[in-house]
C-alpha cells in the first residue's frame, strides 16, 4: 500500500500506568527515539503523593534526551482531604453552643473554596483601595488622572493579586495536585530530576521553569571544553618558470573552556 506519511514534529505524549513507565522508557531509548531532535512527555495518572517511585526513571536520561513527566501527586491519607457533604440541618444545640461541624469547610469541598475566594477578594480589594487612596491624596486630581491605570490594567492587577493570594495563603483545592518534573542534564552528562511546575484545581498551573528546559534553554549553563587540534598544512607554489616551492604551515592546538 502506498500510504502518505506526515511529520508530526517529533513530539510525543504518552499516557501510561506507573507499572509500564520503565519498560516504555527503555524501549523508546533502545529504538533510537530519544534523540535531541525529539520531545517526550509522559503522563502518569495512577500515582499519588506517597507513591512517586515511577518518576525516578528520569534519572536514567542521558545527554541529548528531552523528556518530562506529568504525574499525579494528590494526597490520599490526609484527614482534611476526606471531604463529605455538609449536614442538611444543624441542631439547635449546635447553634446555641456554636459547635457546628466545620469539617466540610476543609480540603477540596466547594464550601471551602467559596469561603477562600470571598476572603481573597475582600483582602485584595482592601489592599488595592488603600494603595489607590494613598496615591490619590498625594497629588492633585489632574495629576492623578494622568498616572492612574486604565480599566484593563486595573483588571489585570487585581487578577494577578488574587492569584498570588491563593497561591501563598490558599489552603483549599490542594488535595488534588499534579506535579511536572523534567530531566536536566548537568556537567558530565548526568541527569537529575528538576521540578518545573505544579497544577491545582483552584489556582491552575504554577510553572517555575520550562517543561522541556533543554529545548528552550540549550546547555543550561553547562561548561563544555572545546579543543582545536594541531594540524600541519603543506602548500606547493608553482611560479611562471614552473619551479615548485614547498611551504609548511603549523596551527597550534588551543583549549577553550
CA dist 44 and 12 (Å) reads 14
| Residue 249 CB contacts under 8 Å (≥ 6 apart), including other chains | 232, 233, 234, 235
Q: DSSP states of 140-193 as a string?
A: -HHHHHHHSPPHHHHHHHHHHHHHHHHHHH--TT-SS-EEEEEEEE-GGG-EEE
Q: In the chain, which ranges are continuous DSSP H helix?
A: 21-30, 92-97, 110-137, 141-147, 151-169, 213-217
Strands 11-15 and 191-200: unpaired
pLDDT in tens, 196-227: 999 988 788 888 999 998 888 777 777 777 77
pLDDT in tens, 2-43: 656 566 678 999 999 999 999 999 999 999 888 888 999 999
CA dist 16 and 139 (Å) reads 61
Grid coordinates in use for 176?
A: 488534588
CA dist 44 and 55 (Å) reads 9
* Average pLDDT rounded to a whole number, residues 224-240: 67
CA dist 180 and 212 (Å) reads 10
Name the band, by pLDDT with cuts 50, 70 and 90, for residue 100. very low
Average pLDDT, the chain: 79
- Region for 136 from its dihedrals, namely left if φ exceeds 0, alpha if ψ lies in -120 to 50, beta otherwise: alpha
pLDDT the model gives residue 2: 61
CB atoms within 10 A of CB 229: 8
| Residue 184 CB contacts under 8 Å (≥ 6 apart), including other chains | 191, 192, 193, 194, 213, 214, 220
pLDDT in tens, 172-204: 777 788 999 999 888 777 888 999 999 988 788
- Model-level pTM? 0.64
- What is the residue extent of each domain of the chain? 11-77+175-217, 98-169, 226-256
Name the band, by pLDDT with cuts 50, 70 and 90, for residue 75. confident
Report which DSSP code applies to 256. Answer: E
pLDDT the model gives residue 103: 42
* Average pLDDT rounded to a whole number, residues 117-125: 90
Return phi, psi of residue 183, to 5°.
-90, 120
pLDDT the model gives residue 101: 45
Amino acid at each position: 500500500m502506498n500510504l502518505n506519511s506526515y511529520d508530526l514534529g517529533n513530539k510525543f505524549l504518552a499516557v501510561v500506568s506507573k507499572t509500564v513507565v520503565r519498560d516504555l522508557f527503555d524501549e523508546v531509548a533502545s529504538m533510537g527515539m530519544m534523540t535531541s531532535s525529539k520531545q517526550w512527555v509522559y503522563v502518569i495518572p495512577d500515582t499519588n503523593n506517597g507513591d512517586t517511585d515511577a518518576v525516578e526513571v528520569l534519572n536514567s536520561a542521558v545527554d541529548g534526551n528531552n523528556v518530562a513527566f506529568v504525574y499525579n501527586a494528590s494526597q490520599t491519607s490526609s484527614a482534611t482531604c476526606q471531604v463529605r457533604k455538609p449536614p442538611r440541618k444543624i441542631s439547635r444545640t449546635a447553634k446555641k453552643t456554636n459547635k457546628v461541624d466545620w469539617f466540610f469547610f476543609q480540603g477540596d469541598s466547594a464550601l471551602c473554596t467559596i469561603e477562600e475566594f470571598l476572603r481573597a477578594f475582600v483582602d485584595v480589594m482592601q489592599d488595592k483601595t488603600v494603595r489607590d487612596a494613598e496615591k490619590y491624596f498625594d497629588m492633585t486630581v489632574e495629576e492623578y488622572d494622568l498616572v492612574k491605570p486604565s480599566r484593563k490594567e486595573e483588571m489585570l492587577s487585581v487578577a494577578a493579586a488574587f492569584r498570588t493570594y491563593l497561591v501563598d495563603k490558599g489552603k483549599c483545592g490542594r488535595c488534588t495536585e499534579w506535579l511536572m518534573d523534567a530531566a536536566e542534564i548537568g556537567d558530565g552528562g548526568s541527569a537529575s530530576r528538576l521540578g518545573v511546575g505544579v497544577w491545582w484545581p483552584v489556582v491552575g498551573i504554577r510553572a517555575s521553569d520550562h517543561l522541556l528546559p533543554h529545548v528552550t534553554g540549550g546547555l543550561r549553563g553547562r561548561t563544555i571544553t572545546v579543543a582545536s587540534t594541531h594540524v600541519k598544512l603543506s602548500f606547493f607554489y608553482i611560479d611562471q618558470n614552473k619551479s615548485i616551492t614547498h611551504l609548511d604551515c603549523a596551527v597550534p592546538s588551543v583549549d577553550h573552556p
